[in-house]
Amino acid sequence: MPYLFTSESVSEGHPDKVADQISDALLDEFLKQDPQSKVACETLVTTGLVVLSGEVKTEAYVDVQKVARDVIKRIGYTKSEYKFDADACGVISAIHEQSSDINQGVERANPEEQGAGDQGMMFGYATNETDNYMPLALSISHLLLQELSAIRKEGKEMTYLRPDAKSQVTIKYSDNHVPQRIDTIVISTQHDEFVLPEGDSDEAKNTAEVEMLQQIEKDIESILIPRVLKLLPERTQKLFDNDIVHHINPTGKFVIGGPHGDTGLTGRKIIVDTYGGKGAHGGGAFSGKDSSKVDRSAAYATRHIAKNLVAAGVADQVLVQVAYAIGVANPVGVYVTTYGSTKVKDANGNLISDGEIADKVNKLFDLRPYAIVQRFGLQNPIFSETAAYGHMGRTPGTKMVEVLVDGKKTTKEFETFTWEKLDFVDQIKAEFNL
C-alpha cells in the first residue's frame, strides 16, 4: 500500500541554526590560526543575548565577540525591532581549556594512531531517488528555504520577509519505495507586520492578519515555488501537481521569531543536518566540534561511503554504521544495510549479503580518525558553510580563506564538502566486479 514520508528543514535564521552557525564560525577561526585546535563550542541565543561556552585547546587567539556578531549580521538580524541584532546583543564567553583526561586519549606520538574523541555510533545514508543521493523530502525542504533566503536578501520581492523560517514536505511513495507525488508542503516564515490594523478592535486586528497571511500565501505559491521548480530536475518537477496541499503560516502571523521568539542551542537540529529522518542517526551533533570528534568526522565518512556505494550501483539505498570506543583508533564495528535493494551478485548468481558488503567496505575504506581527517581535509576551516541547510547532499567546491602560517597572514584555497565527492566509485566497481 502506498505510504507518506515527511521531512523538515529550518532556515539560517532559526534560533537553533543561529547557534550552530556561531559555533562553526568559532571553530573555523581557531583552525585558521592553528589547524591542530581541539574545539567543542556550544552556543545559546535568546532575546538580546549570546552565550558562548565549551572547551578549546589551541595556540590561536580569537575575538569571539566579533565572530558571533559577524555571523548574526550575515544572517540578517540587523534591526532593533527583532529584539536580537548583531550590534546591540550581549555576548558572554565561558569558553575554557579542554580536559587533559580527554586529550590524552585522543593524541598519540604516532598521529596515525589518534584515538576517537568519544565513544558512539555514527551513520551515513544515501539513496538514488535524487541526483545528490539524498532523501527527496529533505532535499526539497532545504531548497524551499534556501530560495526563500535568497529572495529575502535580494530585497526585490517579498520585502516583508524576516530571517526565521521552517519548511516541511510530505512525499507519497509507491509500495516499492518510488516517489509518486508531492502530497503536502508546509512553510512558516517570519515577516514584518506589513499590514497594520485600522483601530484597536479584535475585528480590525484579525482583518489585518488575514490580509497579511493571504499575501504571504499568494507570494509563496506564485514566487517561491516556481523558483524552486526551475532548480529541480525534470523527474522531480513531475511530482508537483495541482493537488498539493499547502499550509502557509498555519498558526497565523509570525512576526515575533528568531532568538527573541525561541531560545536557540547548538546541536538541536541533527535530523535537519543529516537525512530528515531517513536512515538513522547516532545522536551526536556536528557544529562547533573539530574533526577529532568522530560524531562529526565519522558521520561525514559514512555518508561518503554510502553515497559512493549507491553511485557505483551496489544498491538503490545504503545505510552505513560505524562505532568507536573513546581513545581507540580502529572502529569497534562496521555495519551496512541496503534495505533489500542490493544489485550485486556473486559468482553463483546469488545476491550478495549486506554482511559481505560491510566486509568489502572495511577493505576499501580506512575508518581510523586520522585517516578520515586526512582524506577529507578536516583540519581546514571549511565548516561555516555546513551549519545551515544540511551537512550532507551539498556540492563540493572551494573557498579562499585568510589563514595564519608561521605567524604571517596568507590566503589559501580549501576544498569544501569533500565527503560529497564521488571519488571512490571506480574502486568500488572494481571490488564488486560491476
CATH at residue 324: 3.30.300.10
Give the residue ranges of the annotated binding site for Mg(2+): 16
Q: What pTM was estimated for this model as a whole?
A: 0.95
* Position 38 in a domain: no
Judge whether 19 and 266 are in contact, CB under 8 Å: yes
Whether residues 313 and 426 share a domain: the answer is yes
Whether residues 231 and 332 share a domain: the answer is no
User: What is the pLDDT at residue 233?
Assistant: 96
Whether residues 188 and 307 share a domain: the answer is no
User: What is the pLDDT at residue 97?
Assistant: 81
User: What is the pLDDT at residue 417?
Assistant: 98
pLDDT band at 100 (very low <50, low <70, confident <90, very high): low
- Inter-axis angle of helices 294-312 and 369-376, nearest 10: 70
Number of domains in the chain: 2
Whether residues 248 and 354 share a domain: the answer is no
On the question of pLDDT at 146 being above 90, the answer is: yes
Whether residues 151 and 213 share a domain: the answer is yes
Whether residues 427 and 296 share a domain: the answer is yes
pLDDT band at 106 (very low <50, low <70, confident <90, very high): low
Judge whether 402 and 32 are in contact, CB under 8 Å: yes
pLDDT band at 117 (very low <50, low <70, confident <90, very high): confident
Whether residues 140 and 212 share a domain: the answer is yes
User: What is the pLDDT at residue 308?
Assistant: 98
Domain that holds residue 144: 3-9+135-256
Whether residues 252 and 286 share a domain: the answer is no
More confident of the two residues 27 and 116: 27
In angstroms, rounded to a whole number, what is the distance separating the alpha carbons of residues 238 and 233?
9
In angstroms, rounded to a whole number, what is the distance separating the alpha carbons of residues 204 and 389?
38
Whether residues 305 and 237 share a domain: the answer is no
Give the residue ranges of the annotated binding site: 14, 16, 42, 55, 98, 164-166, 253-254, 262, 268-269, 285, 289, 293
Rg of the chain over Cα atoms, rounded to whole angstroms, equals 23
* Position 60 in a domain: no
* Position 219 in a domain: yes
Single out the residue of 71, 91, 62 nearest to residue 21, CA to CA: 71
User: What is the pLDDT at residue 200?
Assistant: 87
On the question of pLDDT at 47 being above 80, the answer is: yes
* Position 302 in a domain: yes
pLDDT band at 392 (very low <50, low <70, confident <90, very high): very high
* Position 266 in a domain: no
CA atoms within 13 A on the CB side of 342: 18
On the question of pLDDT at 64 being above 60, the answer is: yes
Q: Round the average pLDDT of the chain to a whole number and report it.
A: 94
* Position 199 in a domain: yes
Whether residues 301 and 414 share a domain: the answer is yes
Give the residue ranges of the annotated binding site for K(+): 42
194-to-153, 158, 245, 262, 354 alpha-carbon distances in Å: 17, 11, 26, 22, 56
In angstroms, rounded to a whole number, what is the distance separating the alpha carbons of residues 23 and 17?
10
Whether residues 198 and 303 share a domain: the answer is no
Give the residue ranges of the annotated binding site for L-methionine: 55, 98, 262, 293
* Position 395 in a domain: yes
User: What is the pLDDT at residue 108?
Assistant: 56
Whether residues 197 and 321 share a domain: the answer is no
* Position 356 in a domain: yes
On the question of pLDDT at 205 being above 70, the answer is: yes
Give the residue ranges of the annotated binding site for ATP: 14, 164-166, 253-254, 262, 268-269, 285, 289
User: What is the pLDDT at residue 118?
Assistant: 82
